[in-house]
Structure 1
């Protein structure tokens, strides 16, 4: 496609499409289409969840009112939460710290910008935390629309910064930080809701669970930051070793709004794709993520989905299908977790040695390298099939 064109197709300015590699075509064109589809899918997901949001706020307000009115009433152990005063003071301290500490939103010297950022974090987090915890409690963690919430936060924050004239690199970093904080808050809210639901079924004390959640968040934040810094030092984000497509998407959204540099025709194509998915009753956000992800990342996801569909269709009963699905998710989660830990270990070696380990590579296979890789992938699929279908 494009072989008859004699001039580059916008937004590319120098190369013709036939001269581009698949990766370059994704960078110049497909990622913008995917970004538009993901943004539209996220917004559509939020719109579809508006009734849940309204119901969540209504129930939350009723529960808050009941707690304030019955402050002197003895509460059962299994319904004892952290005092509202502790939660309120803690939230106020966090917002104040974001506004006062200079480097929370990047190298910001302006207190006004930090204050606006802190207020935006408080507003978006308040809304999206409520929605996230409610959806996870009702449906499950897989239904948590974190991507949609993050994109909505980035679009709203970037638009406000554009109106205020904060379009330089400092404004971009601040907008990115706000989106990250909101995304983390929504994710933790969903996880906490799941934990509290499990604790309720087991008869745990919510207050003690919440204290444990705070300790866990502080601990994980420390080690996650160290791991991210290590990966950045070893490889650098956006490289072939660490493409970071989600981070790239956030960068595209922020720069597109603040600099008005997006190729809107390509973004519009992505929006139309998301709308078409909704018309055909296909979940737009997962489909859009598939459009945006690079082919190397998307292919195993697609084949894994086909394998799951095959195993569920061949199941003799709904119970068997559910069991196979759970086994597959468990095995896949283990592989992802193991790969992540191994990747951090390799990054540590790369950081200490100054370069990434070469590994075996595929040079020894010569022209048969693609077939060797395909064979390894087939073996992995067979392992999944056997693990999901075995009776024990």
Structure 2
């Protein structure tokens, strides 16, 4: 019942947001946390506070999260297909095939990473998964710091009142600095690129080019991250050090090399978007 109830609302929200703004603005994490809070609270009232209750709450959250994600992705694909003149029926068949194949490979990847490094470790911190674990355990074990939750809710209301999107603000708070610094720098570059444009049309063109460049970087980083994690996990399973493929070889020069790489990416981004006007 909880799966159907939450999925009904969040699938609709996900599809509409993606259709209006884009898949990158799909608040899957927020919808999942809301589902976990509701499910864990219901289980607490029913007395299902043991390990089975925690597993059940996690299962409900997983199903709703996957449903919302697939709904957003399908909405994006169908919108793109409509613009290109594709046949919806053929697209839907492709979506079904894609879900089946991706489920297999995602499960294999997650199982390998869990066996090699484990989640919540230094090699694989998984901050969002850790947050969801804390939500479930906090509600069912009755040790969730509701004072902090209330403070967060008040801050979210204030953000909305001053026209600051509360969800990106919250994501920036709980994600590690190593993740959010590049996001902040990317946002500054986008603002600078649009601000320096001579007209609204040029600004829109630069924005589209920057989004394409950023999307490629996000996809490439994800694939490279899985590859590095796989190599590190394999090294661990073989009894070696997972850090042997990292930046230890650079020694004291590692921060400088990372800064140079970041500057090079920023220069590539700027050169790409400024070609559009």
TM-score with structure 2 setting the length: 0.89
1:92-144: per-residue Cα shift (whole Å, max 9, x none)? xxxxxxxxxxxxxxxxxxxxxxxxxxx32122212222232233334433443
Counterpart selection for 2:66 from 178, 184, 205:
184
1:357 is displaced (CA, Å) by: 4.8
CA distance 1:184–1:332, shift in 2 (3 Å): same
CA distance 1:177–1:205, shift in 2 (3 Å): same
Cα RMSD (Å) of the superposition? 2.2
- Contact conserved, 2:205 with 2:276, CA < 8 A, in 1? no
Counterpart selection for 2:255 from 370, 382, 388:
370
Unaligned runs of 5+ in 2: none
Structure number with higher helix proportion: 2
Distance in 2 of aligned mates of 1:361 and 1:204: 46
**What number of residue pairs does the alignment pair up?**
273
- Contact conserved, 1:256 with 1:262, CA < 8 A, in 2? yes
Aligned pairs for 1:1-392 (under 5 A) are: 119-353=1-235, 354=237, 355=240, 356-359=242-245, 361-362=247-248, 364-366=250-252, 369-391=254-276
Three-state SS of the structure 1 residue aligned to 2:245 is coil
1:253 is displaced (CA, Å) by: 1.3
TM-score with structure 1 setting the length: 0.64
User: Which protein shows a greater Rg?
Assistant: 1
Unaligned runs of 5+ in 1: 1-118
CA distance 1:277–1:160, shift in 2 (3 Å): same
1:365 is displaced (CA, Å) by: 4.1
The one of the two structures with greater contact order (alpha-carbon pairs below 8 A, sep at least 6) is 1
- Contact conserved, 1:125 with 1:182, CA < 8 A, in 2? yes
Distance in 1 of aligned mates of 2:206 and 2:215: 14
